[in-house]
């Protein structure tokens, strides 16, 4: 449910907007003056803001400027009964999304809200895509060994469904790349792919990260915050290293999967969510269940489709194509002419015990690009690869 703030000193206008917006299933908050409205903006996350221009104490343009300084990301729609072209232009120049004259027109309000939501969604998608391009530039599932062919076939079959997938495999094998490929082959590919590294977040913060929190839920909760389940709604939520999730978070994730709804930390209201869950772990969850560290019922909820990513040692025949891929990528990143790697070098690479898997190979190739001349030889691999 989108949360909208209405700032206006006229009670009748606030009441009229509330009735319209609540009928459309929006959560409406009110402020009767600019000062109160700006305080609410600073302490809460709103999806949209309506702000009157002519108000005592602090007018709407001052609120607009203050909201922008406070890094507010919600579109702000200015409203006024004293509208003219100059006022509208000044509002837009200062960062308002739109300007609506009083008396308010229902259709105009609803169209403006729809346009604002579409813009917000486009901005979010753009930011996600920019991150993806930076992180995965040139990435794809590379390899033609039997284990990788099976992975690709499973992605093609499973991707279009909403089935939950549990990806297992060692560190650095490419589990995140498999998760993203599942998303990119799904009907949700136009929506967000949100990743949570459960091992990197302290246990006392993981619930807030996943489910969000209400203002005042704990000492540092100075405003409402959406969790990853809400942000991923409509798209895919990737729970990486789920074997490291705390027991209390496991219980809440299980409820979210069972009921498709969550409660923020410190909140009592159920929030509907619709996200596909893809989880990954480098642990043996069966063993974790036996030792009481992981819930068996959650495991069965997650492992509708199990996918195991083979280690690099199990797919040594893919090393030449992977090395060539990373060679092209690293040279482009370093801004240097493309180097080559000879057959002796590839033979030496295939002899290495790759405990760090694909991630280690990528690092070794980068080291070789930096330290070697135009052609990387077998002797150079022996010299530099095992450092």
Asked whether residue 128 is assigned to any structural domain, the reply reads: no
Task: For residue 334, give the CATH number of its domain.
Answer: 1.10.8.60
- Spatial distance between the Cα atoms of 67 and 37, rounded to a whole number of angstroms: 9
For residues 385 and 356, the answer to whether their CB atoms sit within 8 Å is no
pLDDT on residue 135? 47
Per DSSP, what are the bridge partners of residue 305?
165
Shared domain for 198 and 338, answered yes or no, is no
pLDDT on residue 128? 63
> Whole domain around residue 187: which residue ranges?
137-308
Q: 10 Å Cβ neighbour count for 259?
A: 11
Shared domain for 222 and 171, answered yes or no, is yes
- Spatial distance between the Cα atoms of 172 and 130, rounded to a whole number of angstroms: 23
- Spatial distance between the Cα atoms of 20 and 309, rounded to a whole number of angstroms: 52
End-of-domain residue from the set 120, 148, 174: 120
pLDDT on residue 130? 57
End-of-domain residue from the set 93, 120, 147: 120
Asked whether residue 131 is assigned to any structural domain, the reply reads: no
- Spatial distance between the Cα atoms of 105 and 102, rounded to a whole number of angstroms: 8
Which tokens belong to 9?
């000193």
What stretches of 184-224 adopt beta strand conformation (E)? Answer: 193-197, 212-213
Q: Where are the alpha helices (DSSP H) in the chain?
A: 11-23, 34-43, 60-69, 85-93, 106-136, 146-158, 175-184, 203-211, 228-231, 247-259, 285-290, 296-302, 319-334, 343-351, 357-371, 378-384
Q: 10 Å Cβ neighbour count for 250?
A: 19
**Does residue 307 sit in helix, strand or coil?**
strand
Task: For residue 225, give the CATH number of its domain.
Answer: 3.40.50.300
Shared domain for 163 and 271, answered yes or no, is yes
In a structure prediction context, what are the per-residue pLDDT tens digits for the chain, which is 387 residues long? 589 999 999 999 999 999 999 998 899 999 999 999 999 998 888 999 999 998 888 989 999 999 988 888 889 999 987 766 777 888 888 899 999 888 888 888 999 998 988 887 777 766 666 555 544 443 479 999 999 999 999 999 999 999 999 999 999 999 999 999 999 999 999 899 999 999 998 888 899 999 999 888 887 777 888 999 999 999 999 999 999 999 989 999 999 999 999 999 988 889 999 999 999 999 999 999 999 999 999 999 999 999 999 999 999 999 999 999 999 999 999 999 999 999 999 999 999 999 999 999 999 999 999 999 999 999 999 999 876
Asked whether residue 34 is assigned to any structural domain, the reply reads: yes
For residues 275 and 237, the answer to whether their CB atoms sit within 8 Å is yes
Counted domains in the chain: 3
End-of-domain residue from the set 308, 335, 361: 308
């Amino acid at each position: 449910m989108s949360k909208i703030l209405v700032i206006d000193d006229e009670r009748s206008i606030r009441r009229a907007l509330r009735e319209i917006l609540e009928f459309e299933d929006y959560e409406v908050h009110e402020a009767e003056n600019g000062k109160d409205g700006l305080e609410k903006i600073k302490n809460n996350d709103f999806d949209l803001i309506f702000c009157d221009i002519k108000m005592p104490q602090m007018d709407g343009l001052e609120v607009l400027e203050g909201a922008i300084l406070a890094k507010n990301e919600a579109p702000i729609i200015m409203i006024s009964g004293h509208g003219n072209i100059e006022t509208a232009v000044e509002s837009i120049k200062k960062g308002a999304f739109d300007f609506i004259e009083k008396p308010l027109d229902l259709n105009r309000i609803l169209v403006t809200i729809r346009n604002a939501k579409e813009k917000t969604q486009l901005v979010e998608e753009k930011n996600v895509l920019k991150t993806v391009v930076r992180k995965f530039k040139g990435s794809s599932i590379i390899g033609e060994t039997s284990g990788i062919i099976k992975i690709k076939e499973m992605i093609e079959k499973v991707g279009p469904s909403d089935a939950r997938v549990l990806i297992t495999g060692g560190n650095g094998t490419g589990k995140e790349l498999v998760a993203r490929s599942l998303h990119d082959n799904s009907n949700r590919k136009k929506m967000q792919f949100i990743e949570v590294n459960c091992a990197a977040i302290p246990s006392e913060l993981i619930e807030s990260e996943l489910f969000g929190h209400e203002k005042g839920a704990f000492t540092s909760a100075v405003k409402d915050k959406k969790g990853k389940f809400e942000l991923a709604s409509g798209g895919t939520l990737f729970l990486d290293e789920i074997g490291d999730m705390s027991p209390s978070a496991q219980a809440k994730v299980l409820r979210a999967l069972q009921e498709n709804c969550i409660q923020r930390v410190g909140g009592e209201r159920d929030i509907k969510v619709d996200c596909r869950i893809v989880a990954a772990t480098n642990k043996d969850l069966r063993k974790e269940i036996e030792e009481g560290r992981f819930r068996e019922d959650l495991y069965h909820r997650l492992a509708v489709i199990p996918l195991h990513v083979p280690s690099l040692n199990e797919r040594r025949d893919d090393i030449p194509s992977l090395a060539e891929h990373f060679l092209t990528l690293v040279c482009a990143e370093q801004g240097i002419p493309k180097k080559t790697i000879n057959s002796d070098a590839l033979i030496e690479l295939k002899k290495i015990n790759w405990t760090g898997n694909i991630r280690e190979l990528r690092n070794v190739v980068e080291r070789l690009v930096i330290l070697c001349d135009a052609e990387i030889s077998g002797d150079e691999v022996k010299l530099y690869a095992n450092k």
